[in-house]
Structure 1
Amino acid sequence: MYIVISGNIGAGKTSLAQIISEDLGFSVYFEDFHSNLFLKDYYQDMKRWAFATQINFLALRYEQIVHHMLLSKIPAVLDRSIYEDREVFAKSLYEEGLMTKEEWIVYDKLYNLMVTHLPTPNLLIYLEKTVDELLRNIAKRGRDFEKIPREYLESLDKRYKEFYANWHFPKIKITNDIYDNREEIIQRIKNALYNAVY
């Protein structure tokens, strides 16, 4: 069994993953952005580094799932999904001209080869926040490389809404504060998992 948490940059995915791990006893796998060799350069020059950054994330995500999560017998939660890598980030970069057609074809081929070997998550949790909330959260965590334009977050926000609408497997959307509503949110997740499994 595994859960994936989906949401824009700064939505609170890592915090919710920690809560699920603490309250439900799931093992937790965080997005390893420190291991992405191109991320810092990407935020300085998106067109130059878009393809390399997305390929690196794809490889890191696949390695995390196959070499760690799937070998464990403990239910798991991931604080980002491999599916939104393609449907939100890579597709956005291609459609906005930051990734060439040839780069998109290579990326898409690799993605499809990978996901055919992966089990579908038992539940997708979508954290939806306003762009103002995202900007505040990003500023709070103070990562030097995350100088993210508002327009970019707005573009991703639209794509996340489409991604969630088109996800045809068990899913829930959370818009309220995860700390103020912790018990309620955990109960919603339990109910959704029960319905998904039984």
Structure 2
Amino acid sequence: MADALHITEIDRSQNSPRRAAQSNDPRRYIAVAGSIGAGKSSIVEFLSQHFDVQPFFEPNEDNPYLEDFYEDMERWSFHSQLYFLGAKFKLHKELDASPQNVIQDRTIWEDAEIFAQNLYQQGQMSARDWQTYRNLYESVQGEIRAPDVMIYLRCPVKTVRQRIAMRGREMEQNIPTEYLNRLHKLYENWIDAYDLSPLVILPTDKLDYVTNLVDYHEIVTVIEKYL
């Protein structure tokens, strides 16, 4: 464990029945997880440039349902989540085929365990749609590779709200704080039980790896071990 940034390293995967079978493939797969505004894209860009790994970004801009979803979550939740599930599965096939080490911005597990789960719990996805979604997700999950390390970006909701306001994406500006609070709780519960791979937790509200050499060194040293 690194003290300067309070970086947390956990590995519950050694004795987990859910851990994917180990491969002799020398390529490494780094996954980056975190809520809206936690800093995923920035850390992916930073690590991909520093370690020369191929980045794969979340296909947000390509989702034809996303703007409608933010306007009417109950009506468009199933459509939007199904799109993300299919797009993430395609992305996994692409990163599996890459000859390089790869790093991914938001994972298929978050789509199901955080975002779709939240919509169902809040009554914004029907039980019928939820069951259909889960059946497909569980089938897909058996076909994809677990990461060699999962990086979780822990960020308080207050900081997330500030970042959403600063980056100015119009469709995000009306996201209720209550919705962000629910996502945060689901993320924390998911991470508390995560056992597919080693886990690195970064407190991104306290990081300044761009101008602070101590922060920079700590992050690089921790992630380098998994490559």
TM-score normalised by L of structure 2: 0.82
Aligned to 1:177: 207
Q: What is the rounded CA distance, in whole Å, between the counterparts of 2:82 and 2:220 in structure 1? A: 33
Task: Spell out the pairing of 1:33-182 with structure 2 (5 A cutoff).
Answer: 33-66=60-93, 68-147=94-173, 148-168=175-195, 169-175=197-203, 176-179=206-209, 180=212, 181-182=215-216
Task: Spell out the pairing of 1:4-19 with structure 2 (5 A cutoff).
Answer: 4-19=31-46
Q: What is the rounded CA distance, in whole Å, between the counterparts of 1:23 and 1:93 in structure 2? A: 37
Maintained 8 Å contact 1:51/1:103: yes
Q: Give me the identity figure in percent.
A: 34
Q: Deviations over 1:11-67 (max 9, x none)?
A: 00000000110111110000110111100011111111111110001111111111x
Q: Which residues of structure 1 form unaligned runs of 5+?
A: none
**Displacement after TM superposition at 1:83 (Å):** 0.5
Counterpart secondary structure, 1:11: coil
Larger RCO (CA within 8 A; separation ≥ 6): 2
What letter matches 2:221 in structure 1?
Q
Larger radius of gyration: 2
What is the count of residue pairs matched by the alignment?
Answer: 192
Q: What is the rounded CA distance, in whole Å, between the counterparts of 2:163 and 2:29 in structure 1? A: 26
Give the helix-richer structure, 1 or 2: 1
Q: Please report the RMSD computed on the Cα atoms of aligned residues, expressed in angstroms.
A: 1.0
What letter matches 2:118 in structure 1?
S
Counterpart secondary structure, 2:171: coil
Q: Deviations over 1:138-169 (max 9, x none)?
A: 11111111121111110000000011111112
Q: What is the rounded CA distance, in whole Å, between the counterparts of 1:178 and 1:43 in structure 2? A: 31
